[in-house]
Amino acid sequence: MKYSFESFNQEVFFSIVQLTTWTEGKSFGHIRRCMSYPSINVKIERLLKYTLPTLLFVGFFLTSSFTALAQLPQVQTSVDKQSILIGQQFNFKVRSSMPDNTYRLSWFSMPDSFSHFEVVTKNGIDTSQQNGNLIFSQTFLLTNFDSGRQVIPPMMLRFETLNGDSSFAMFTDSILINVGYTPADSVLPFHDIKNILEIKADTPWWYWALAAFALLVILLLIIFRKRIFGKGKVAEALFQSKLSPLEEATQSMDALIQKLQQDEIKVKQFYIELSEIFKRYLSRIDNKRMLYCTSDELLIHLAAYPELKNNLAPFANALRVGDAVKFAKFSPDVYSNKDCFNQVSQMISAIHQMKKNSESAV
């Protein structure tokens, strides 16, 4: 009697089932005696001859497939919250693992906003090694301001073999996030609807216009008063003094250098008062307001006098040192402070001598 391969396998399968059922609960000696029966012996021989190689081939194939699958990279995604309130933040983590020295990984670039999600913080890509596998992971802090069921789309990671002969892409799983409002508290009592309230009439717009116009007129009057009347009062206080310009400047210079020698004045204040003494002296000599002139304006004014040519360069250096101290926090030494003081004093003396010569010539 001939058997087909399919009918033979079915017969062997049922024989194995019968043999397994039959041997259950039997002693080893009893099973050994029964194995000598011809019918059972034939079935065992057929099982070993035909079915066992097939089972070995299938087992080898499955083992090879599992080994190949174990060599492929794996990508996992996770979130710490699947339901959030509007504006609430949650962590989104992407993790990839692959055998060491097998692939090159090109990580995806996360935009600042995508699919109604906003990226609050991007952490760096962490790399670790565990059981011969390289593990890459990155965590993002996300938020969402649109209510409803929002989906984090898949992110693509590209893998390439080390020799560069092949490459493939893997995608992360999409994740559903439920975004909702704060649930209403059913314990709190409801409030009645309030009655309609009457709104008082607003102040007419021309009231505000009139007030703005009056304020503008007052400001203009204050500015005009300061420029016209205030200028004369300042000039009057500046140019009227019981002492001559030279005597006033000399007394102020002596008092200033005494403060500096006794450490009663800071360096910045020293240069401020030194500049004010000279400007006050020059204002009284030329009968002009020079108190608010800059260093360059003073030099241009003094350059118009040929008699001051020899003193102009050292005096200019003293002015520049003073500007550096006042505006650039420059800290000169004691010698520089005394030298600047002497240059200003010499310029005052030179101006006084020039004015004296011009008056005697007349």
User: What CA–CA distance (Å, rounded) separates 151 from 42?
Assistant: 63
Residue 198 lies in a domain: no
pLDDT at res. 158: 92
Collapsing DSSP states into helix, strand and coil, what is residue 162? coil
Residue 339 lies in a domain: yes
pLDDT at res. 305: 87
Residue 191 lies in a domain: no
Full domain range(s) for residue 101: 74-180
Examine the domain organization and report whether 310 and 357 are in the same domain: yes
Examine the domain organization and report whether 95 and 41 are in the same domain: no
Domain of residue 117, CATH code = 2.60.40.740
- Distance, C-alpha 310 to centroid of its chain: 57
Residue 145 lies in a domain: yes
Which of 71, 89, 124 finishes a domain? Answer: 71
On whether the CB atoms of residues 298 and 280 are closer than 8 A, the answer is no
pLDDT per residue as tens digits for the range 261-285: 888 788 899 999 999 999 999 888 8
Between residues 176 and 236, the one the model is more confident about: 176
What is the SS3 assignment for 54-101? Answer: HHHHHHHHHHHHHHHHHHCCEEEEEECCCEEECCCEEEEEEEEEEECC
pLDDT at res. 195: 83
Tokens of 74: 């794996």
Examine the domain organization and report whether 95 and 172 are in the same domain: yes
How many structural domains is the chain composed of? 3
Which of 164, 180, 196 finishes a domain? Answer: 180
> For 152-173, what is the mean pLDDT?
90
Q: Which helix (H) or strand (E) holds 301?
A: helix 295-302
User: What CA–CA distance (Å, rounded) separates 322 from 286?
Assistant: 23
Tokens of 291: 């108190």
pLDDT band of 40, cuts 50, 70, 90: low
Residue 230 lies in a domain: no
Residue 189 lies in a domain: no
pLDDT at res. 223: 85
Which of 180, 215, 246 finishes a domain? Answer: 180
